[in-house]
Structure 1
């Protein structure tokens, strides 16, 4: 193996290492964002946390309407979907 070829292989390895470092940093930032959300608890405010509708009692979200199927979207499921999208997008 020539000296020039050996140098080229080392240089390519350095580029791969830099790419891995950037990917690792992005992953660690995402993990930190998720961990910061874990400690937060939702508290009832008297209003739906998704749509803002006034609620009685200690509810966080609007209750599902009578006769709704278990997989019908609700304010709670919509809020979870929206929150997951924000976390995925780093917000």
Structure 2
């Protein structure tokens, strides 16, 4: 069964985290899937949900969220999550 709703903020955060993890500033931190999902979850916990039920609604919300000011605000929360997960990784064998 497919979902009938979608959190646009989740889509946006997943994309931004992936881009940041590929960047040169991320070399200090673990890039494993566990850390990636912890960063996404922690970021989403500090951001508002934006659920939609249609593709038109998704496009409208995405356009509203995808502004320079909003992306800066969202990225601040992602960076905070990256540093917190980097300082306290939630696994024993940290892969760098």
How high is the TM-score relative to the length of structure 1? 0.30
Higher CA-based Rg: 1
Which structure is higher in strand share? 2
TM-score between both structures, scaled by the size of structure 2: 0.29
